[in-house]
Amino acid sequence: MEYQIKAPAKLQASIQLPASKSISNRALILHALSYSPYDIVNLSDCDDTEVMVAALNSDSKDFDIKAAGTAMRFLTAFLSKIVGEWTITGTERMKNRPIKLLVDALNSLGARIEYIEKEGYPPLRIFGSALQGGEISLSGGVSSQYISALLMVAPLMENGLTIHLEGNVISRPYILLTLQLMEQFGVKASWTGQTIKVVPQEYKPIPFTVESDWSGASYWYQMAALNKDAEVELLGLFKNSLQGDAAVAGIFTQLGVSTTFTDKGVTLKKNGNLCAKLVYNFVNEPDLAQTFVVTCVLLNIPFRFSGLQSLKIKETDRIEALRTELKKLGYLLTVEGNSVLTWNGERCEPEEHPVIATYEDHRMAMAFAPAAFAIPQGICIAEPQVVSKSYPHYWDDLRKAGFEIKD
């Protein structure tokens, strides 16, 4: 399946963004651990969250979480403390996403988790029981979801949990998000220097409403940047957001888009300011990287983006995927080490009819669709249904905003 996408001459839209997937998935685990009688309001309807809801409401002992990496990590930790024998599996791609660091950490804290097929990878067999807890050391460079998965079950460990983070901590805002949500559910933790400590305590059930998703907003900022005369209203975003990806508003001021907060969300307008070169460290907001890479080349703005080490272990190797697909459009990116992407205007002959591959990665589809503003004949996106992972109504919202989409 492919979508051929053409952009409107002027972007004018009012969009109800999807609920935050990051907040929804954490809230579901905390809601379950607090035995809450309340419904979560404005829960995300994306694939990852629906998989979590299905698993948490299931009577089965066998879970297939499909391509949902967050669900794999969070449920592995959650099930390790729920008495019983469980199995958890996913798609072929999921079976090739490493989980050894999390399994080793949980096993060292008293869990019993075995690999069913390949050492270090799902599917897993989990023998749930009480966890002793204790102290562990983890590289600060691991996925923040490993750390968040451990933290959420930490207060229910017999001895609590102390995590010593070694080296540079990537994706810090996602860890802070977890700790802030834990606090809303009645659990306090301390983070001093490189050490996070959670003592044994109980969660308290609370009514909870999920805010809209700032990473989903990033694609509308991108469209506003690429359209000469855009006016966009994005509903459900909070000024004092818990989400690290709220940084998108500040970064886009350098790419010609200003943000005004209202009582309903934000409005985006052109500000006429374009930087000569964009230099940014995405270590705290890795999910925004694809948006800015594509935006900058299409605006012909050189960039140097660092802090991208976690992109190699996402839904796909996002660094290689960006290089491959932007080459089809005539742009040559340079990789330095495993964490830096640069572009200084290098070009090549673009393909006559490029089709953007999406690699089972929702963010590849959503970051490339706005390229339709910069390419007169529009852009073709393969496997467009991948957006359901985080923003199921993305294509419907583009149609509402005047995009022409044909399959």
Question: 305, 370, 366: which is closest to 338 by C-alpha?
Answer: 305
Place of tokens 């002793």: 132
Separation between Cα atoms, residue 199 and residue 188, nearest integer Å: 8
Check residue 314 and give its pLDDT.
Answer: 63
Give the strand pairing for 195-198 and 231-235: unpaired
CA distances from 185 to 87, 232, 251, 271 (A): 28, 34, 32, 40
Question: 76, 112, 113: which is closest to 94 by C-alpha?
Answer: 76
> How many Cα atoms sit within 13 Å of 138 on the Cβ side?
29
* Furthest-apart CA atoms within the chain: distance in Å: 62
CA distances from 381 to 206, 275, 276, 295 (A): 42, 29, 30, 16
Check residue 161 and give its pLDDT.
Answer: 98
Check residue 284 and give its pLDDT.
Answer: 86
Check residue 47 and give its pLDDT.
Answer: 83
Separation between Cα atoms, residue 168 and residue 371, nearest integer Å: 34
CA distances from 298 to 173, 303, 319, 381, 382 (A): 28, 12, 17, 17, 20
pTM higher than 0.85, yes or no? no
Domains and CATH numbers, the chain: 2-18+212-406 (3.65.10.10), 21-192 (3.65.10.10)
HEC secondary structure over the chain = CEEEEECCCCCEEEEECCECHHHHHHHHHHHHHCCCCCCEECCCCCHHHHHHHHHHCCCCCEEECCCCHHHHHHHHHHHHCCCEEEEEECCCCHHHCCCHHHHHHHHHCCCEEEECCCCCCCCEEEEECCCCCEEEEEECCCCHHHHHHHHHHHHHCCCCEEEEEECCCCCHHHHHHHHHHHHHCCCCCEEECCEEEECCCCCCCCCEECCECHHHHHHHHHHHHHCCCCEEEEECCCCCCCCHHHHHHHHHCCEEEEEEECCCEEEEEEEEEECCCEEEECCCCHHHHHHHHHHHHHCCCCEEEECCHHHHHCCCCHHHHHHHHHHHCCECCEEECCCEEEECCCECCCCCCCEECCCCCHHHHHHHHHHHHCCCCCEEEECHHHHHHCCCCHHHHHHHCCCEEEC
Check residue 315 and give its pLDDT.
Answer: 63
Check residue 48 and give its pLDDT.
Answer: 86
Alpha carbon 35 to chain centroid distance?
Answer: 26
Low-confidence ranges of the chain (pLDDT < 70): 312-315
**Catalytic amino acids?**
287
